[in-house]
Structure 1
Amino acid sequence: MGRQRRGTDGQAAPGIRTASAAGARVPPSPGPGRSPDGPQWRALQTGLDGELVLPGDAGYEAGRLPRNLLYAEQAHPEAIAYCTGPDDVAQCVRFTRRYGLRLAVRGGGHCYGAWSSRAPLVVDLSRMTGVRIDGEGHAEIRAGTPLITVYEELARHGVTVPAGSCPTVGLAGLALGGGHGVVSRSYGLTCDSLAGAEVVLPDGRTVYCDEQTEPDLLWALRGAGNGNFGVVTSLRMRTHPATDLTEFRASWPYRDAGTALEHWQDWAFDAPDNLWSHFLLEAPRDSPTADVGGFLLGGGGEDEANRWLDGLLAVTGPASARQVTHRSYLATVRSNAGGETVLARLDEQRFAFTAASQFFDRRLGPQAIRDTLAVLRRVPDGVSAAISFNVLGGAVNRVPADATAFVHRNSRLLAQYYASWPAGGPAEAAVRWVGQVREALRPYTSGHAYQNYRDPELTDWRQAYYGANLPRLERLRVHYDPDRLLDFPQAL
């Protein structure tokens, strides 16, 4: 899921399919790095329908800040371009080629390493929003549309796309790295519903890719498209029924956490596809607990959810608390997104954090569980920390590992290790603790990590994110961006 505390896709819209500029003159390779001056930046502004914000302008300080304030002092772009369409993006691409600048693409700004805010020119897509149903089981969604807006607009038509719970993440950023959430076992990953995309390539051309046109590009975008290959400006998504959801939660005293985790992992993975759940361990405090949360899509509502919970509790022992709530799909995602006013409270979502992830292809044995609980007891003072396990399987695992760029198709669980702290808190200690969790559990993992949870401390990230799909992805990267116009520390 995209939720930070949990770690928790007929005819195209006008201007989408017709945007290809095949045969157009390819701009020259990036220049030697001569920095543009004020008049040249202003010339770029003149050519944009959107807005160019420079240091000293109103809005620059708020605009430069990433969601993750751990990297706030490293985010000082020379300019932020708030684009309104693919023509604006293409103008920015040509500008950066002319002056040999690096370019970063930002939707919701949720990159864990804040790399979408750490480049000379930040191409911000947050004003490129909109959802259009085409009546053929698909929706055209502009790349910067916040996830909660996607849910809201699609729900009016009784449909949805499988995605996470973080309301302000841009749909493109979520989909291009995989995208998992509470209906993934039923409907697959977000990238599995990606049927086509409009892309501004690093040579300045705008193309449309689908299964018939540029199919290799579409393959790469389904799991490896974040900051690679080109700037995605619109996505064509396959939609699915937005049936009611039944949410359930159960808690155990911390002394029973090991037993609960041991039994939950099999119960969750062997459940029917319409049941998804996660297991959350938070750093011990005065009254620590182990928590299971989950959702049942459609089905028998509260009665069926209670029967499944009863089956879990029969092997874990009684829960200290439990709750089951049946609501509409939209009401449920609104509640999990933090309520109806979340988009008006963006500043509250900026804070410092660090995180890592690992996939598990095998069930957790007794020693792995003991090591998990042991490292959680070593959280530094002043740090809020958690370890969460999200169940996979179902539709996610029925896709072959080489059918999309998302290679992690044989995993049972995705774990995230997460730490945050208040301003002035122990950042170095928190980063060190997350690394300790990663190393303590490494022997039990597949060796893979989730590319949507960018981990700046991960040294073997190429293999961890892309596995056996890496050689094909590297060839495509050279094909589409030979001059590395799109570049950051974990760019292919």
Structure 2
Amino acid sequence: MSRSERQLDRRTVLKAGGLLAAATAAGVGAAPPASAGAAAPDWAALDRAVAGTVFRPGVTGYTASHQLFNPRFDSVQPAAVVRAGSVEDVRQAILFAKKNNLVCVPKGGGHSYVGASAVTNGMMIDLGPLRGLTYASNAVQIGAGARLYDVHAYLDKYARSLPTGTCPTVGIAGLTLGGGLGIHTRTYGPTSDRVLSMQVVTADGMVRTASPTQNADLYWALRGGGGGNLGIVTSFRLATIGAGKLGFFRLTWPESQAAAVLKGWQRFAKEAPSTSWANLHITGTSSGGLSIHVVGVSTTGSATAAAAQLEWMIGAKGATRSISVKTHLEAVKYLGGGTTSPREGWLAGSDVLRGPMDATTISGVLGAVKTAAKAGVAASAIIDPLGGQAAKEPPGGSAWPWRSALGVIQWYSGLPSPPTTAQLRAAQAFVTNGHHAVTKFSAGGYINYLEAGRSNASYYGGSLARLHAIKQKYDPTNFFHAPYTFA
């Protein structure tokens, strides 16, 4: 597999939505300008109150401090970035923002699809320094600023792992709070299901523990309710899994078999054992055609049976076929495209599939990608399976709403940096066409694939009413508010 293919797999096989040009220009969650006569915030006082660093416009380091993974949001300029050196720094920053009527957003890894950790005129709280790791008794304590590769490399020393996505620079916080899908989802459930407890600073400046026995409602809400809604989580304690060898397979088929592959993959997602996982990539080619491949994993240590089962359900053997076995850290590096990842631009969206699509809808999915490819748009539909353990409610329950779904389809378009307005519009047209193609089978969207212009309610399903009630309890004045939070 070429490096470009590995990068696409890394970005889309395992993750932790798309944007309109207007959202980029205006900034996400833009804070209103101070009213005439209002006293300006005393930034010097904040600087004295925190052990970390306060970056302001014009100060050395400010530009780098507010950059996210996607360069499209470089123009979004906060009034200040607080690089928190401690939990107390987070608390002080929240109280300062509240006192000065500033929109306040947390930044973990900065991979939000809508740039939700950037804010115009408001305050960004960067949790990057809070990345400590401690392992004991099959559980790991992780600072909210930790990145996925660092977590896996640390746990590998103890022959342990976690079910996560694979982009090495994705932050543990955003991934976990939104669910967290990856190769272990069917075997162990999403990342959020592994959370034993969390430390969170709420809008009143209180440092709370959320667990099955302390603030149990907040514990429920934070496990799948998304980041930036109810408080700022500063650390997580998660139950680990064994870091055994994994079996991998990669299969390709010609475009002529695309419909059969998608139909057979749906059966595999529904019927395969929970030890098997495979995601399907339908990618437009430069010639206007379709490239079809599957990346699969078996947690039994051998992928031979899983690959054969998928081929049987499709009714055709792969045109190319590779099977391998990798250790835990080999798998992490393979799926992540290495140990780090360069900044890159994209626009994307998602649909949660409530069940297997019919022939007409399958044709629509393929047509949406092909239409975009013919127009010169970099376009992929990537489908991750659910089911298995992900279909079972974890101890303590969780807000993650898609237990009964078949899978999650991601509409993904890579973009140059910076993209032109025409390129943004073409990418958005592809995502919109994808949504239209699967309307009949879409239950909503995946919160970690947020996109602009979509109803926030569509990401929370049946959990939304309870989330609203918990929001009212812990943030009655709606301090944590932005276009992508629920009120």
Change in CA separation of 1:333 and 1:35 when aligned onto 2, cut-off 3 Å: farther
TM-score norm. by structure 2 comes to 0.89
* Cα distance change, pair 147–2 in 1 and its aligned pair in 2 (3 A): farther
Residue 478 (str. 1) matches residue 472 (str. 2): yes
Maintained 8 Å contact 1:35/1:99: no
1:472 aligns to what SS in structure 2?
A: helix
1:303-329: per-residue Cα shift (whole Å, max 9, x none)? xx2233223324432322111110111
Secondary structure of 2:360's counterpart equals helix
Query: Which piece of structure 1 moves more, 379-388 or 144-153?
Result: 379-388
Checking the alignment, whether the CA contact within 8 Å between 2:298 and 2:306 is kept in structure 1 is no
Distance 1:5 1:410 in 2: 22
TM alignment of 1:301-450, pairs within 5 A:
301=302, 305-314=303-312, 315-340=314-339, 342=340, 348-351=342-345, 353-379=346-372, 381-399=375-393, 403-422=397-416, 423-425=418-420, 426-446=423-443, 448-450=444-446
Look up the SS of the partner of 1:115 in the other structure: coil
Match of 1:455 in 2: 451
Amino acid at match of 1:398: K
Residue among 461, 478, 481 paired with 1:487: 481
d(CA) in 2 for partners of 1:402, 1:206: 21
Q: Which amino acid aligns with 1:379?
A: A
Structure 1 partner of 2:460: 466
Q: Following the alignment from structure 2 to structure 1, what is the Cα–Cα distance between the partners of residues 86 and 425?
A: 40
Deviation, structure 1 residue 268: 3.3
Percentage of identical aligned residues: 29
Which residue is 1:20 aligned to? Answer: none
Q: Find the aligned partners of 1:317 and 1:250 in 2 and give their Cα distance.
A: 11
Q: Displacement, 1:481? A: 0.8
Cα 1:162–1:55 shift into 2, 3 Å: same
The residue matched to 1:470 in structure 2 has which SS? Answer: helix
SS, match of residue 487 in structure 1: coil
Residue 356 of structure 1: how far off its partner (Å): 1.0
Match of 1:69 in 2: 71
User: 1:29-108 residue pairs with structure 2 within 5 A?
Assistant: 37=40, 40-73=42-75, 75-108=76-109
Separation (CA, whole Å) in 1 of partners of 2:9 and 2:309: 28
User: Cα distance 1:281–1:320, how it changes in 2: closer, same or farther (>3 A)?
Assistant: same
**CA contact under 8 A between 1:178 and 1:190: conserved in structure 2?**
yes
Residue 195 of structure 1 and its aligned partner are, at CA, apart by 0.9
Which amino acid is 1:69 matched to?
Answer: P
Give the match's secondary structure for 2:168.
coil
User: After the TM superposition, which parts of structure 1 deviate over 6 Å for at least 4 consecutive aligned residues?
Assistant: 31-36
- The residue type paired with residue 203 of structure 1 is D
Pick closer, same or farther for the CA change 1:2–1:177 going to 2, 3 Å: farther
What letter matches 1:420 in structure 2?
Answer: G
1:198 corresponds to 2:193: no
Cα distance in structure 1, aligned partners of 2:158 and 2:167: 22
Structure 1 match to 2:12: 5
SS of match in other structure, 1:224: coil
Q: Does structure 2 conserve the Cα–Cα contact (< 8 Å) formed by 1:67 and 1:109?
A: yes
Letter in 2 for 1:108: G
Larger deviation, residues 282-291 vs 321-330: 282-291
User: What is the CA distance between 1:131 and its match in structure 2?
Assistant: 1.0
Question: Contact 1:2–1:166 (CA<8 Å) still a contact in 2?
Answer: no
- Ranges in structure 1 where 5+ consecutive residues have no aligned partner: 9-30
RMSD, aligned CA: 2.2
User: Offset at 1:400?
Assistant: 7.2
- Code of the residue aligned with 1:70 in structure 2: it is R
Where do residues 8-19 of structure 1 align in structure 2 (5 Å cutoff)?
A: 8=15
Counterparts of 2:232 and 2:318, CA distance in 1: 48
Residue pair 1:2, 1:181 contacting (<8 A) in 2 also: no
CA deviation map 1:431-484 (0-9, x unaligned): 1221111122111222x21011111121x321x111111111101101111122
Tell me the residue number matched to 1:139.
140
d(CA) in 2 for partners of 1:416 and 1:489? 21
Which residue of structure 2 aligns with residue 18 of structure 1?
none
Which aligned pairs between 1:260-299 and structure 2 lie closer than 5 A? 260-286=261-287, 288-299=290-301
- Aligned residues of 1:199 and 1:230 also touching (Cα < 8 A): yes
Q: Which residues in structure 2 correspond to 1:100-139 (within 5 Å)?
A: 100-119=101-120, 120-135=122-137, 137-139=138-140
| 1:255-278 residue CA offsets vs partner (Å, 9 max, x unmatched) | 111111111221233111111110
Q: Does structure 2 conserve the Cα–Cα contact (< 8 Å) formed by 1:382 and 1:421?
A: no
